[in-house]
Every structure is written in C-alpha cells, then in structure tokens.
C-alpha cells in the first residue's frame, strides 16, 4: 500500500508555492509515496497589528510545529527568516533549499528608487529592520504599518495607502512577480534579514527515513550561510523587536559574513564584516555566533534589545 505523507504549510500564495516546490522535489525523489499538502492557519496570518506585539515571527511557524508534534502533518515548509533560532527538541530541519536572491525590493508606482523619494514620503512596512535601515538612508521619510501577503500589500500600494513599500526579491521572483520590482536594493545599502530567501523543511527527529529523504534536498551553500546568520541572530538574542540584519556567502570553503544592528529610529548602526575558512556546519555556527558576541560587546548597551 502506498504511504501518504502530509506537507504542512500556511495558506498564502507564497507559502503554497514553496510547499508545492518541496512537493515536486519529493515526488521526483520518492515517487512511491503520496505527498499531500495540508494547509493550516497560523496566528501570524490572522493578527492585524505589529508582530512584535503578539510574539514575533514565530507566530508563522508555531502552529505548523504543533501539527508536526501531534502527527497531523509529517513535514512543514517554512520561510527560514520566520523560524526562531531556538527550536523544539523533538524537531529538526534536515533540508534547506537553494537560496533565492536575498535582496530587498523597493516597490513604488510613483518613484524610481529610494533616492527618488521626496521628503515626507510615506513608506508602508511592518519590518523594524527595513524601517531602521531606511531611516539611516532617508531620515526625511515617514512610515505607516503595512501588513498582509504579497498581493495584499501590492494592492494597498496601488490604492495609495503609501508611496512605496519593501518586499523580499525572493518572494516576488517565486510568485512570478519580479516585474513589480522598482529597484532591487543593493545589500550594501540594505542588508537583508538573516536567512532571507531560504526555504526550510522541518520534521520530527524520530522520523529517520523521512529525514534521510529530506537530507537529499539539502543545499550546502544555503546551509552554511544561514547557519552563520541565525547563529549571529541567536548571539544577539534577536527577534523582530530588534533591527538585525545579516548576510553570509559561502564559496568553496570560504564563508564571508556581514552583519549589523540598528537602533529602531536609525540613529545608531553597528556593523561587522569578516571572512573565514569553514569546513563544517559547526564551524559556520561558531563563526556567526562569535560575530554576534563581538558586536554585542561593541554596542555596550547603547541599543536596547527586545524591549
């Protein structure tokens, strides 16, 4: 009898795209299993205010992990930038798919670039990181809260709720909406969120056979890079309440790393840059964690974390 496995996902168009991508890879790898998608609602999709006031980005993953633990699903597909750095002891992420473009996208129907924004322009964003970074670049603009899935935000932009907004290039590309990007912002201007552009697949630790199947999908460059980025975030005890950005790039055996922490109003910015030869995932973790610890010492209480 054919075995059935359930793939848990949120119901947004982007989440469904990512789940179907994982499904297609698993069908190719193990065609004898019936890989079915199961849509679950998460708290993060339903709240109306700012995520930081309701527990942070973990709201997008918590219900999926609960469904894993109680057996309603066998694996969960996540955008890794939404996944807390400390996971459940019974769960593991054995597969990280190849990274898409990690940059942020500036989107406007009125203005061609960040530099083109007029003084006083209204920027719609729910991201404290993006707000803080833009405040350092353009302290003359103002912000309003803009939440919802990609399509919802684009519709609000077109309706004139704001003059511009920011989304991840990766999500837009995956949805076939890359033509909506007004400016792909260079990472030298806006460093992305840790793990932006990477999809991860989570399952139970005791699922030995499934873990082996999933490990065949794992991309080493993505694993090494976001391991360092998430370790940096963990060292700083970061959440969506603190503007933290990081980007690691793994080539050959060399792992290049850039990270930064900002005050919420953009008035302070602390950055670090380094590169190191790494052999194992543990090396990548240690490197990222050390970068975070070094930056925390430099900050020396001048930025309040998670207040």
pLDDT (tens place) for every residue of the chain, 307 residues total = 789 999 999 999 999 999 999 999 999 999 999 999 999 986 655 545 444 444 445 677 899 999 999 999 999 999 999 999 999 999 999 999 999 999 999 999 999 999 999 999 999 999 999 999 999 999 999 999 998 889 999 999 999 999 999 999 999 999 999 999 999 999 999 999 999 999 999 999 999 999 999 999 999 999 999 999 999 999 997 655 789 999 999 999 999 999 999 999 999 999 999 999 999 999 999 999 999 999 999 999 888 765 4
What residues make up the domain containing 56? Answer: 1-97+198-218
Whole-model pTM: value is: 0.92
265 and 136 inside one domain: no
Give yes or no: residues 173 and 210 share one domain.
no
As a whole number of angstroms, the distance between CA 118 and CA 95 comes to: 44
The neighbouring-strand residues paired with 259 are: 246, 272
For 145-174, b where at least 16 C-beta lie within 10 A, e where not — what string? ebbebbeebbebbeeeebbbbbbbbbbbbb
> Are 226 and 286 in a shared domain?
yes
Domain membership flag for residue 192: no
User: How many residues does this entry show for the chain?
Assistant: 307
Co-location of 302 and 256 in the same domain: yes
Under DSSP, is residue 131 helix (H, G, I), strand (E, B) or coil?
Answer: helix
Q: Which candidate in 70, 74, 82, 237 is catalytic?
A: 82
157: Cβ contacts below 8 Å, ≥ 6 apart: 107, 108, 109, 124, 146, 164, 165
Looking up residue 151, the CATH number of its domain turns out to be 3.40.190.10
Examine the residue annotation and report whether 82 is marked as an active-site residue of this protein: yes
């Amino acid at each position: 009898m054919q075995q059935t496995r359930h793939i848990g996902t949120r119901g947004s168009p982007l989440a469904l795209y990512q789940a179907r991508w994982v499904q297609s890879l698993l069908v190719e790898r193990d065609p004898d299993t019936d890989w079915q998608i199961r849509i679950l609602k998460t708290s993060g999709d339903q709240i109306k205010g700012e995520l930081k006031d309701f527990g942070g980005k973990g709201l997008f993953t918590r219900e999926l992990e609960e469904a894993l633990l109680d057996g309603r699903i066998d694996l969960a597909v996540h955008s890794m930038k939404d996944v807390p750095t400390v996971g459940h002891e019974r769960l593991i992420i054995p597969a990280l798919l190849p990274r898409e473009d990690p940059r942020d996208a500036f989107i406007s129907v009125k203005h061609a670039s960040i530099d083109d924004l007029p003084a006083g322009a209204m920027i719609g964003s729910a991201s404290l990181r993006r707000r803080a970074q833009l405040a350092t670049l353009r302290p003359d603009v103002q912000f309003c809260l803009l939440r919802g899935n990609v399509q919802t935000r684009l519709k609000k932009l077109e309706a004139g709720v704001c003059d511009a907004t920011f989304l991840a290039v990766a999500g837009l590309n995956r949805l076939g909406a890359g033509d909506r990007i007004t400016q792909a912002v260079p990472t030298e201007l806006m460093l992305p969120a840790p793990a932006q552009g990477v999809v991860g697949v989570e399952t139970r630790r005791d699922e030995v056979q499934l873990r082996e199947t999933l490990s065949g999908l794992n991309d080493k460059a993505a694993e090494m890079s976001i391991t360092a980025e998430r370790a940096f975030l963990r060292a700083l005890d970061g959440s969506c309440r603190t503007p933290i950005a990081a980007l690691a790039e793994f080539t050959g055996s060399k792992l290049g790393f850039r990270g930064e922490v900002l005050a919420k109003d953009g008035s302070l910015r602390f950055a670090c840059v380094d590169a190191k030869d790494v052999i194992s995932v543990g090396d990548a973790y240690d490197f990222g964690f050390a970068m975070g610890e070094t930056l925390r010492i430099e900050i020396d209480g001048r930025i309040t974390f998670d207040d």
